[in-house]
Structure 1
Amino acid sequence: MGCQNYQSKIESNVDVATKLKQQAFQSPLAYDLIESLTVEVGPRLTGSEKDRLAVQWVERKLNTLGFDKVYKEAVEVPVWNRGAAKAEVIAPFQQPLVITALGGSIGTPQKGIQANIIRFKTLDALKAASITDVKGKIVFIDHKTQKTVTGAGYGETVSGRSKGAIVAAEKGAVAILIRSIGTDSDRMAHTGIMKYVDGIQKIPAAAMSNPDADLINAMLQREPIITLSLNMSSARKGVAQSFNVIAEVTGQQKPDEIVLISAHLDSWDEGTGALDDGAGVAIVTAAAKLIQDLPKKPARTIRLVLFAAEEVGIVGAKAYIKAHEKELGQHYIAAESDFGAGLIYQLDLNVSKQAFHELHRQLNPMASNGVKQGNNTAHGGPDVSIFPSRGIPVASLRQNGFDYFNYHHTPNDTLDKIDPKKLQQNVAAYAQFAYLMAQSTSQLRPMKSKQ
């Protein structure tokens, strides 16, 4: 009898997962949410007035959608103003360059900076350079980002953006420009967060468009000494209050155990934040809504978390961990949508070895949506990547990101890049994943790897 009951539960879960997929492909909710967010709020720079409006917008939407619980948790976030950024080659060939300040950068002196550039192919090459060669110059890191489905090329080049100013300043550079961390050939520069450390001089940091990086290289082939003029008015403005916004579908049998699905609400200010991460906000919200509307709620609670301040250092996720310290052991599994709106093709996990094999069978309904079973080394997404170190299992629903870094952190991150059908496939995948995990009987801990 026990075996029959177990088989009956499995069949029931499959039936519900199938219905969730069907409903996802019939619902316009996810696209409607992105359209509303990008039109009515737009870019949502951390700590800005638009950030505040975004919190109000999503809290209102979640209440309207009828979740069992909707609440928010305060997060202290850094405030930064982009200001203006201008650069031009003043010798030997006078030409303007398209640049943008990197997030968190200081500005130049009011009169700007004029200095010769020194080119490095990679951050490692800069690290190996002598202070004598770098001192007094503008460093140019010329590391091209390769286009891949997984986004691995971004991972190889992004350290130049985040750490370049530190290394350059240690060697006496007066500023740093990087080739945009992007895979496009548009004359648009890609922004993104950069870092300083205490005790090392802060220098201005900016990214130039890929065509302008090519232009500098062509000049260097003709003339080894190139002089740039750089003027930036970006500035740090202290701290402000933002919020993690949370909604829940209360579980019936195990309401204290949590399946967490998430995205981040903030965005950079160059585009409208449609792909990064309006898509994620819409995907996980629409998925949770499908589960909310089921005739019978799942066993575990589905918790939807829309994190604050991901772009500036996963600040909201760190605040969440601190705020929920006492219930981290009750988090069954977590996942995050933060890679645009390309089709999900694979599900990776980070769970116990035994559970990894058990979940292949439990998650099999996702195969009909084009999602194959992957490996057991998932990181979960940017915000959720800090969860495994606290013992929380995670999953990565892998999206096709081949074109994602064409638009990432640029003015081109806009609604027209969203394919509604691909968006619905994402909603179906997250709805199936969250529901099946809420019903799972597997022991997911201890995970295979704590990152």
Structure 2
Amino acid sequence: MSFKSGLLAGVFALGLFSTPALAQDAATIAAAETLRDQALNDNIAYEYTRDVTTLFGPRPAGADTDHAAAAWAADWMRAHGFENVRVETFPLVGWNRGAESVEIVGVGAQKLSAAALGHSIATPAEGIEAEIVHFTSLDALNAAPVGSLNGKIAVVDAGQMPRTRDGSGYGPLSRVRSQGPKAAKDRGAVAFVMRSAGSDHHRMPHTGTTGYHDGVVPLPSFALSAPDADQVARLVAAGQPIRMKLFSSASTYETHSQNVIGEIRGATRPDEVIVLGSHMDSWDLGTGAIDDAAGGGITLATAKIIADAGRPARTIRVVLYGAEEVAQPTDHGNGGGAYVRNIGAEIEKHIIAGESDLGADNIYDLGLPPGTQNSEFAQKALAVLAPLGIAAGGEERFGGVDIAPLARNGVPVFGLSQDATRYFDLHHTADDTFDKIDPVQMRQNVAAWVALVKLIADSEVDFRAIAAANTASIASN
């Protein structure tokens, strides 16, 4: 018996809990604690992550491995007791990396470690050779006069991403990746190169999607590993004119991706749906273990552990979203958007959603929807999560890329914040492989998800009504 359960038992003995409602509440808390402790000794999430990364390797959106992994995951759900399992497809522009190279030519000639950004267009067959113009920020590139980069290669080195627990340094660098090629093109550049959006100092570049603008990717675009970006910066500081030669045979093709959906039907309120999200696709350089096979393992294990103890009151639906990683010529929200379009009016019965997409290292805080951070439910949840080292976090409104379309359509979201200190060392690199998963920390993730989702599933809390009222109150003020 846990400390909390023992305390509740003592309170009952004193007769302080006398109503059926309070007794039911205490039983729900005790059940959540029991499942939390059970999950700390359960390896199903770790085994799922091992299998999907081993059997299918990289799973670029729309590729054959993406399709095969989705079919396998649907079979996995069926074999583990999930219901209403289905694979829902949607059209997609896929991308093949092809061959690529980046080097300095002429004075200081040397090969550089680089990778094309996702959905980058190819160079001409002979490559692109030109002088570089070096910028230390996206703002500096945007401030360059139109025409000042005619025939040049724009290089943006916005500095090394800091290692932080919340991963907050990533956003500014991802904007360089998505917006930089367009800014460079507008000023006459023939190609774009950036320092990788990562916190490591390994000689491994970080890929990641660049942006479509008016339906096209403007330029051939590449990311340098951190040591190579430093090398270029030193040459620039020494006053050395630099010429680069870039080559890419990247190409796009028409294909599809898919969402894999399965659920544990609720016993008494099956129409009230809790969505647990992650994404199935990965980048092609590694095997997508931390990004994001781990999230699939965590959410699937959560639903299964809860179901094995008896049906929850509400339905728990796990969605392995497709094509989270890639931009598209027209932004329809990829897997998250497809899911919202397919459920239609059923979205009104979606009471809350959460997403696991930041690796599998320890969870340290809980974010709840507007209006619920200081509620009775929050107090219960934090009491159950406290033994895992989890404290109260801030208000959660966005939730993650895949469940953002749900959030924009009125579905409240929660967040269990994972420690991202080392995540961006590995993110979008060849080093994103299964050996980077720490099984002990992954079990802590599952325990947190199981405890929280069990409490939500068996509660009477109307998160939608609370969030809507809170949002309306803020707007009126």
TM-score, normalised with respect to structure 1: 0.96
1:116 aligns with 2:131: yes
For the Cα contact (< 8 Å) 1:170–1:201, is it kept in 2? no
Change (3 A) 1:114 1:65: same
CA distance in 2 between partners of 1:199 and 1:244 (Å): 24
2:82 matched residue in structure 1: 67
1:359 matched residue in structure 2: 377
Alignment of 1:206-245 (within 5 A): 206-237=222-253, 239-245=254-260
Task: Select 1:153's aligned residue among 160, 169, 182.
Answer: 169
RMSD: 1.8
Following superposition, the deviation at residue 366 of structure 1 comes to 1.5
Alignment of 1:114-263 (within 5 A): 114-144=129-159, 145-198=161-214, 202-237=218-253, 239-263=254-278
Deviations 1:64-104 (A, max 9, x none): 11113311211212211001110110132101011101010
Following superposition, the deviation at residue 223 of structure 1 comes to 2.6
Deviations 1:161-181 (A, max 9, x none): 011111111111100001000
Change (3 A) 1:418 1:199: closer
Following superposition, the deviation at residue 230 of structure 1 comes to 0.5
Task: Select 2:432's aligned residue among 413, 418, 437.
Answer: 413
Unaligned runs of 5+ in 2: 1-15, 328-332
Following superposition, the deviation at residue 355 of structure 1 comes to 6.9
In the comparison of the two structures, how many residue pairs are matched? 448
Following superposition, the deviation at residue 385 of structure 1 comes to 2.2
1:17 matched residue in structure 2: 32
TM-score, normalised with respect to structure 2: 0.91
Following superposition, the deviation at residue 200 of structure 1 comes to 7.2
For the Cα contact (< 8 Å) 1:260–1:331, is it kept in 2? yes
SS of 1:320 mapped into structure 2: helix
1:336 matched residue in structure 2: 355
- Aligned partner letter, 1:340: G
Unaligned runs of 5+ in 1: none
1:7 aligns with 2:7: no
Range with bigger deviation, 321-330 or 354-363:
354-363
CA distance in 1 between partners of 2:452 and 2:247 (Å): 49
Following superposition, the deviation at residue 3 of structure 1 comes to 6.7
- Aligned partner letter, 1:190: H
CA distance in 2 between partners of 1:117 and 1:195 (Å): 22
Following superposition, the deviation at residue 137 of structure 1 comes to 0.8
1:310 aligns with 2:309: no
Following superposition, the deviation at residue 304 of structure 1 comes to 0.5
CA distance in 1 between partners of 2:389 and 2:453 (Å): 17
CA distance in 1 between partners of 2:300 and 2:172 (Å): 31
Deviations 1:300-323 (A, max 9, x none): 100001000000145100100111
Change (3 A) 1:212 1:355: closer
- Aligned partner letter, 1:311: E
CA distance in 1 between partners of 2:103 and 2:87 (Å): 45
CA distance in 2 between partners of 1:122 and 1:358 (Å): 46
Q: Give the share of equivalent positions with the same residue, in percent.
A: 38
